[in-house]
């Protein structure tokens, strides 16, 4: 298999026929073989019924249906797990990503040796205050945090080498920062290609204002996992040791002062330094234990699937 096209969707019954027809026209003269993987993320409209109708018309389609709405990251995870193509392209189902970009992205992976190529919607047709400005802030913060020089981390239109998508686990709402996950997995050749952004033709956006807050929280999570995800003891243990030493130094000072310099003075427990020392030593011990437990959890952790597939359809089944 040369190419897998992974498309997560939620309530896109109106756009699906046009999208699949557009993909079919674009790749009709393409010499390679390809598959289209649709992941219905618990749609509440007639999206699955539309997919059932379209399956016989397009022999390349495989459709996965979730039992409920789990989120875009889980949908991508399911699609990546099933993908077989040497190049995997992801795109949204709302017709804002053009399938005509796929051949160019495919060539960037196969001919130029990139591990990941992210689309860059330089000219957008979204609201400036509602989406464009927050996106610019997200992308700036992500560039500074990750060191990856991309202008549009959250663009749904991306191409990957198959080995890259098999090496990452997309969970929670981490789909915004897949390039960072790919880099952390050891795939460092990450590029970018300007792509055309289409205005939305049907329905409304599925993402509310909460995605901005969640995006920044996810960025902090990505930074922490990148720096300390494999060795939590390096952070928690170091902080714990420093706090414990600070508390021990305070305790030593209080003891020496009480025994040799001021034996008739007030009790040690009446001095504020005593409580600082006690708090530092307790917190230091707790931080150290947190790092130790983190190391144990990492060594025993197994990959978990955070979604349930209700049905799988394929024109070849």
Token look-up 């190049």 returns: 87
The H or E element containing residue 261 is: none
Distance CA 77, CA 304 (A): 11
**Closest listed residue to residue 73, CA positions, set 134, 191, 156:** 156
**Closest listed residue to residue 72, CA positions, set 6, 164, 163, 125:** 6
pTM, two decimals, is 0.76
Q: Which two tokens stand for residue 152?
A: 């549009």
- How do the pLDDT tens digits run along the chain, 317 residues long? 999 999 999 999 999 999 999 999 999 988 889 999 999 999 999 999 999 999 999 989 999 999 999 999 999 999 999 999 999 999 999 999 999 999 999 999 999 999 999 999 887 665 655 566 777 887 888 888 888 989 888 899 999 999 999 999 888 778 888 998 999 889 999 999 999 877 667 766 655 556 667 767 777 777 776 677 667 888 888 899 999 999 999 899 888 888 888 887 778 888 888 899 999 999 999 999 998 888 777 666 656 677 889 889 887 65
Contact between 120 and 151 under an 8 Å Cβ cutoff? The reply is yes
The H or E element containing residue 118 is: strand 116-120
Contact between 88 and 6 under an 8 Å Cβ cutoff? The reply is yes
Q: Give Cβ neighbours of residue 241 (< 8 Å, ≥ 6 apart).
A: 284, 288
């Amino acid at each position: 298999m040369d190419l897998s096209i992974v498309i997560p969707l939620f309530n896109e019954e109106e756009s699906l026929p046009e999208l699949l027809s557009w993909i079919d026209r674009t790749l009709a003269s393409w010499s390679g073989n390809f598959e289209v993987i649709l992941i219905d993320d618990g749609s509440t409209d007639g999206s699955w019924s539309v997919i059932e109708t379209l399956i016989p018309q397009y022999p390349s389609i495989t459709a996965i249906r979730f039992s409920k709405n789990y989120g875009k990251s889980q949908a991508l995870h399911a699609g990546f797990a099933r993908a077989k193509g040497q190049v995997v392209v992801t795109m949204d189902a709302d017709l804002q990503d053009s399938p005509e970009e796929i051949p160019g992205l495919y060539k960037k992976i196969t001919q130029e040796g990139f591990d990941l190529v992210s689309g860059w919607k330089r000219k957008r047709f979204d609201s400036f205050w509602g989406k464009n400005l927050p996106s610019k802030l997200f992308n700036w913060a992500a560039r500074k945090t990750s060191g990856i020089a991309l202008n549009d981390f959250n663009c749904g239109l991306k191409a990957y080498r198959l080995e890259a998508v098999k090496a990452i686990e997309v969970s929670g709402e981490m789909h915004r920062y897949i390039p960072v996950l790919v880099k952390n997995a050891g795939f460092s050749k990450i590029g970018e290609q300007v792509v055309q952004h289409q205005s939305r033709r049907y329905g409304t956006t599925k993402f509310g204002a909460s995605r901005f807050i969640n995006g920044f929280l996810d960025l902090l999570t990505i930074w922490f996992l990148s720096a300390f995800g494999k060795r939590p003891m390096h952070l928690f243990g170091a902080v714990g040791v420093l706090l414990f030493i600070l508390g021990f130094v305070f305790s030593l000072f209080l003891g020496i002062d009480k025994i040799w310099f001021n034996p008739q003075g007030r009790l040690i427990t009446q001095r504020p330094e005593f409580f600082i020392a006690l708090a530092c030593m307790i917190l230091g011990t707790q931080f150290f234990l947190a790092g130790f437990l983190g190391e144990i959890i990492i060594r025993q952790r197994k990959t978990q699937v955070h979604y349930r597939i209700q049905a799988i359809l394929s024109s070849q089944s």
